[in-house]
Amino acid sequence: MPTAPVLTTGQCDWSSGDNLTEPRVTEQLDYAGCLFLSILPHGQAVTMLVWIFVLLTLSSFLVNGFTLFGLGRSEDLSWEPRVALFKNLIVSDLLQTITFGPAVIHSLVQRRTMAFSTWCNVQYFVGTVSIFSVLLTITCMAFERYLYVCHAIHYLVILTQTRRRLALALIWVYSISVGTVNLMLLHKGTGQKNEQATRGLLCEPDMVEQYMGFPRASAVFRKLMGSVTLLVCLLVYAFSYLRMYQDARNAMMPFNTVNTTARKTVSFYCGMLLLQLLPLLLKVASDALWEVEGTAAMVSLLEPTPSDTAVVLHMSLLVMLLVPPFINPVVYGLRNAEMRKAMLGRLGIRTGRRGAEEMRLEYIVPQNRAQ
């Protein structure tokens, strides 16, 4: 893997005076290289980050590709709404991985910050669409499980094939609309025409908005839509799993026992949801802090050498963006006995007796509830 020449801090001399944001290149180093050096001056940290992003990207491709291949031609599961939603989640995760992973790896290997170009705009747009699609899909998956458990007798009547397709279409229409409007509002900013590079390793909202001169309309729209969508997801998720847990607890009350399995299941999925939403929660928190601090936060971003906290937050956000696509197939696919059998069956691997028993119980419980 070819790498760019290793830079040193002595090769970039940040000019003093009124303008503290422009580097004076002393040995034919470009602006992007000096910005990268101000973020990650230590070569060992860069090498470690390269390996982390490579492993996360390849693992996400392998796990999602294997899962999608296993479910792709499974006739037994093709009619189920949860499988259709799960496939949509995999596609969104793959789109997010393709958009974020290689871009960050390229910036680290070349030791340059992301250049503002057509690819940067595409990356910003596709990243926005994929994140909103993932968020809406896991919301629909939680509501679908609620209908399956709490309204088993009406499940197939409510979730018809037409409504399932309509839900998937609305997910993408909403996500693409948000991404399109956000990109259009973003380009109403003044921009920094004298610079060709952003101050980050990825064209994420803060970096792009800073490059475009902090357009107020784009920032307000992005924060509003992101916060509202995230709030709806949390409310639907909390309502769905709380109702499922209550039904499971009520089913065990006549026997004077506690449904430990239901409690563990709900706790597990809630924990995985928090891990899934951790990048978005941090983003919403930072956006709220931005609004509180106002101009001071803006000035801090323009400093020639960003603080250690800013660098850690930026790199942590990039890493966390690649973690959910890797764990989603495991959480929502491989833990389910029926899906696990279908995926392993495509590879000629038979599930054990335990998997068959889990599948049998999964069908018996909703049937008993319906009766």
41 pLDDT tier (thresholds 50, 70, 90): confident
Q: Residue 319 pLDDT > 70, yes or no?
A: yes
pLDDT digits (tens, 9 = 90+) for 163-199: 989 999 999 999 999 999 999 988 876 655 556 778 7
Q: What's the sign of the alpha-carbon dihedral 228, 317, 292, 121?
A: negative
Angle at which helices 43-72 and 308-329 cross, to 10°: 20
pLDDT for 353 equals 46
Please tell me the number of Cα atoms within 13 Å of 315 on its side-chain side. 20
Q: Does domain 9-335 have CATH number 1.20.1070.10?
A: yes
pLDDT for 18 equals 42
322 pLDDT tier (thresholds 50, 70, 90): confident
**Those residues with Cβ within 8 angstroms of residue 70's Cβ, 6 or more apart along the chain or in another chain:** 339, 342, 343, 344, 345, 346, 347
Return left, alpha or beta for 160; rule: phi > 0 is left, psi -120 to 50 is alpha, else beta: beta
pLDDT for 170 equals 96
pLDDT digits (tens, 9 = 90+) for 52-107: 999 999 999 998 888 887 776 666 566 678 888 888 999 999 999 999 999 899 88
Q: What is the mean pLDDT of residues 202-219?
A: 81
CA distance 187 to 183: 7
Q: ∠362-364-365 over CA atoms, to 5°?
A: 70
Q: What is the mean pLDDT of residues 17-27?
A: 44
Amino acid at 250: N
pLDDT digits (tens, 9 = 90+) for 249-305: 776 554 445 566 767 777 777 777 777 777 777 776 666 655 544 434 444 444 555
Name the burial class of residue 364, with classes exposed (0-12), middle (13-18) and buried (19+) by CB atoms within 10 angstroms of its CB. Answer: exposed
CA distance 148 to 155: 6
pLDDT for 191 equals 57
User: Rounded mean pLDDT of the chain?
Assistant: 75
CB–CB of 129/183 below 8 Å? no
pLDDT for 235 equals 92
pLDDT for 115 equals 83
Q: What is the mean pLDDT of residues 132-136?
A: 92
25 pLDDT tier (thresholds 50, 70, 90): very low
CA 73 to chain centre: 26
pLDDT for 15 equals 46
pLDDT for 297 equals 44
